[in-house]
Amino acid sequence: MEIIVCVKRVPLTQEVDLEINPQKTDVRKDMLAYSINEWDNYAIEEAIILKEKQGGTVTAVTVGTEEDEEVLRRCLAMGADKAVRVETGNLLPDSFAVAKILAQVIKGMPHDLVLTGVQADDSNEGSVGTMVAELLNLAHAAVVTDVTPEGGGATVRVELEGGVEEVSRIKLPALLCIQTGINEPRYVSIMGIRKAAKKELNVVKIEDLGLSHDDLSPWTTVEELFLPPETEGAQFLEGDPATVAEEILRILKEKGVKK
């Protein structure tokens, strides 16, 4: 089974105080640490699990700068066979342009399955995967929590609201947007990354993809970023843990739930 996985390197913003840049078009990223997008980590793991069961190859693809190769090396260390980075130069593609770039790259490679994460942790759009599917005319499913290939297709589970899952049958080739929790992504050691350095990592220049200026011009642009509107917010309980605990128990008693 030939599997292609689209991955993205994103800043880690949990427990970080984000600052908006002076142009108000993005957050200041100079102080942020980066990692593989959480959803993509599950997608690459799922691809490797499928390969281990069924044979075949796993190719990780990213669109970005040389720094973004870090996540490809990580994928190679996890067990991907090769990796491709599309060098975008000065272009800052929006989700539509990224989808077109990815589709153009994937078109030239054999693929039974294309996996992406449900969404990226930074832009939270959740649209690139299904756009790629449409551009490649592939069957697809969003928010996938289980994949079982059988015959010329696969049984997939899609996560809906309220703990409900939708079971369906999909024809291959297909694109699946992978949800977190589908598997337990394996640990990657620095040693593992070093060992994987010998694996194939190709760089494709965006101008060699045959995309027109029109293909790459943005469909949406960020006009302005701003901080969330002020809300009343929480009343903060101050003091050492013992004082705070005392206060919490007082509130529980007041609300009638203290044992």
Residues between 15 and 54 with contacts to other proteins, criterion CB under 8 A? 15, 17-18, 20, 27
Find the binding residues for other proteins in span 127-146 (CB under 8 A).
Answer: 127-131, 133-135, 139-143, 145
User: What residues contact 247, with CB distance under 8 A and at least 6 apart?
Assistant: 237, 239
- Residue 10: in which H helix or E strand, if any? strand 9-11
Of 29 and 205, nearer to other proteins (C-beta) is: 29
Count Cα atoms within 13 angstroms, Cβ side, for 96. Answer: 9
Instruction: Give the residue, chosen from 67, 90, 161, 198, that forms a contact with other proteins under the rule CB under 8 A.
Output: 161
Distance in angstroms (rounded) separating the CA atoms of residues 68 and 82: 15
Contact flag: residue 208 with other proteins (CB under 8 A):
no
* Coil vs helix vs strand at 4: strand
Count Cα atoms within 13 angstroms, Cβ side, for 202. Answer: 11
- Residue 140: in which H helix or E strand, if any? strand 139-150
Residue whose C-alpha is closest to residue 130's, from 85, 170, 167, 174 = 174
Contact flag: residue 191 with other proteins (CB under 8 A):
no
Beta-bridged to residue 178, according to DSSP, are 117, 144
Of 75 and 128, nearer to other proteins (C-beta) is: 128
Other Cβ atoms within 10 Å of 131 Cβ, number: 20
Contact flag: residue 198 with other proteins (CB under 8 A):
no
Of 198 and 213, nearer to other proteins (C-beta) is: 213
Of 35 and 130, nearer to other proteins (C-beta) is: 130
Structure tokens at 222: 């960020």
Contact flag: residue 235 with other proteins (CB under 8 A):
yes
Minimum gap (Å) between residue 35 Cβ and other proteins: 14
Of 203 and 245, nearer to other proteins (C-beta) is: 245
Minimum gap (Å) between residue 105 Cβ and other proteins: 17
Of 203 and 252, nearer to other proteins (C-beta) is: 252
Contact flag: residue 216 with other proteins (CB under 8 A):
no
**φ, ψ dihedrals at 20, nearest 5°:** -85, 140
* Coil vs helix vs strand at 35: strand
Contact flag: residue 246 with other proteins (CB under 8 A):
yes
As a whole number of Å, the CA-based R_g of the chain is 22
Total site size for other proteins, rule CB under 8 A: 85
Contact flag: residue 107 with other proteins (CB under 8 A):
no
- Scanning 80-88, 188-196, 199-207, 235-243 for contacts with other proteins by CB under 8 A, the matching segment is 235-243
